[in-house]
Amino acid sequence: MDYKDYDFGLVGLGVMGRNFILNVADNNFKAFGYDLDEEKVEALKTEGGDLSKVSASTDIKTFVQALSSPRKIMLLVPAGKIVDQAIESLLPYLDEDDIIIDGGNSFFTDTDRREAYLKDKGIHFFGSGVSGGAEGARKGPSIMPGGDKEAYQHVKPIFEAVSAKYKGEPCVAYLGPKSAGNYVKMVHNGIEYAMMQLTSEIYDLLKKSSGLSNGELHQVYSKWNEGRLQSFLVEITAEIFTQKDDLTDSDLVDMILDKAKQKGTGKWTSQNAMDLGIPVPTIDMAVSMREISALKDERILADNLYNRPEIPSISKEELIEKAEQSLYFAFIIAYAQGLHQLSYASKDYGYELDMATIARIWRAGCIIRAGLLADIAEAYTADKEVPNLLLSPSFVPKVQETLPAVRDMVAFAAKSGIPVPGLSSALSYFDAYTSSKLPLNLIQAQRDHFGSHTYERIDRDGIFHTEWGA
């Protein structure tokens, strides 16, 4: 092995890491991996086959010495203390101006802390969200880097080569300083939570109210994926309905327990949105529904205590048509909420984010990729300062024409006792955001009545307080 001859280093050779490093090698960059687990190191060498451009070691010193300067080292390890431990293990062997890239789902404040810590040591650090799962890592993910702009230039050729491509354009771009990359990936995952919840609710409506078979559901989602709902999540949903269970004679989807797990990025999105004062109720509800799903035993008990209403009659054709319009509307709302949060976070945290750029790098490779993102990129290109997608003139007719169907579907679900909290929250959010008059004047009166919290008036400037009942 020639020391100082490898272009790129990667720490963490699980499935995601191995796939990413093989992608790097496929694009004619020499890549060297590191993992404490000998089996993972050997797995990379085996999967690399005759690739002379990839190698790996369990020895940290050998790993670092194999890399050309400035060293470009990416961490693909679980978020949290393991990232800090990996950084500390590298530091004794690094030189000034070497670069460490965190490719995991680290919380954005941890990225800011690590950047400041390493800057004092002369080491460049940036967080870079990677979306697309194991397959995306191998064939081309969407990559969301942020941090030191000058250091990114050293990594840019590699990232542009390995990223997914949309009509020839790489789905990667420098997003902004500090933790901009990890923050954008966090919100990406929040939108992902919402879109998954919405897709599952529509599935539930179709199955319970019209008794569509899994074969019919496959056909419905496949057809939707050929139209304006074209997206990765709709595509894989159609595919899921065709999978047979190898342990029974049933379809696999019917044998999976209805308890959804989570890794925390959706919750972080909701929590930080509340800190910023930005409403993202559809994302919030997606997180809450995963928590409700975990209460399986309690849900079974409750189901036996309460009667459900009879489901009103509706034709399959009408249901499918209104369901498509509802899902399209709700996808727009999910993107609108996430991008609204990003626009405000950009100002608060100094990220200097460009929403059109973010939409463009999400068009391929990532989990929330969808045809709709091309329209979103155009909307923000036309007006980069628009705070919310619902204020974009190009989206007004898209939303407007779906509203009758959405209202019908939410009402139908309520009458049927079929929970659609994501869709309901999307509609309520829309109705609230587009209302020039809300009943919050009464809340301000209540706050002033019991706590002297003051209020503002509609007819004059200033802050007022009333001695109520006096």
3-state secondary structure of 325: helix
What is the distance between the alpha carbons of residues 324 and 427, in angstroms, rounded to a whole number?
A: 15
The topology (CATH level 3) of 8-174 is Rossmann fold (3.40.50)
Asked whether residue 183 is marked as a ligand-binding residue, the answer is: no
> Which DSSP symbol is given to 394?
T
Question: Residue 352: what are its φ and ψ, rounded to 5°?
Answer: 60, 45
Burial profile 241-253: b = 16 or more Cβ within 10 angstroms, e = fewer:
beeeeeeeeebbe
- Per-residue pLDDT, averaged over 363-386, amounts to 96
The residues near 183 (Cβ < 8 Å, ≥ 6 apart) are 108, 146, 342, 345, 349, 351
Q: Which of 40, 178, 192, 201 is catalytic?
A: 192
* Tokens 């899921």 found at: 240
Query: Who has greater pLDDT, 41 or 225?
Result: 225
pLDDT 10s digits, 160-176: 999 999 999 999 999 99
Provide the residue type at 448 as one letter: D
- Per-residue pLDDT, averaged over 181-206, amounts to 97
Class of the domain covering 439-469: mainly alpha
Length of the chain measured in residues: 470
4 an active-site residue? no
Residues of the chain with pLDDT > 70: what percent? Answer: 99
Q: Which two tokens stand for residue 397?
A: 């007719």
Asked whether residue 114 is marked as a ligand-binding residue, the answer is: no
Q: Model pTM?
A: 0.94
Domain spans in the chain, listed from the N-terminal domain onward = 8-174, 185-434, 439-469
**pLDDT at residue 14 tops 60:** yes
- Per-residue pLDDT, averaged over 141-155, amounts to 93
Closest to 270 (Cα-Cα) out of 251, 283, 288, 253: 283
Per-residue confidence at 1, pLDDT binned at 50, 70, 90? very low
185 an active-site residue? yes
The residues near 415 (Cβ < 8 Å, ≥ 6 apart) are 309, 311, 312
Per-residue confidence at 453, pLDDT binned at 50, 70, 90? very high
Asked whether residue 133 is marked as a ligand-binding residue, the answer is: yes
Q: Which of 185, 201, 235, 322 is catalytic?
A: 185
Q: Which two tokens stand for residue 345?
A: 């976070």
**pLDDT at residue 460 tops 70:** yes
Asked whether residue 154 is marked as a ligand-binding residue, the answer is: no
3-state secondary structure of 6: strand
- Per-residue pLDDT, averaged over 175-201, amounts to 96
Closest to 369 (Cα-Cα) out of 164, 114, 215, 150: 164
Instruction: Give the model's pLDDT for residue 263.
Output: 74
Q: What angle do CA 271, 274, 278 make, to 5 degrees?
A: 130
Q: What is the CATH number of domain 185-434?
A: 1.10.1040.10
**pLDDT at residue 272 tops 50:** yes
Asked whether residue 290 is marked as a ligand-binding residue, the answer is: yes
Is cis: bond before 70, omega within 30 of 0?
yes
**pLDDT at residue 136 tops 90:** no
Across all residues in the chain, what is the average pLDDT? 94
Provide the residue type at 59 as one letter: D
pLDDT 10s digits, 414-440: 999 999 999 999 999 999 999 999 999
Asked whether residue 189 is marked as a ligand-binding residue, the answer is: yes
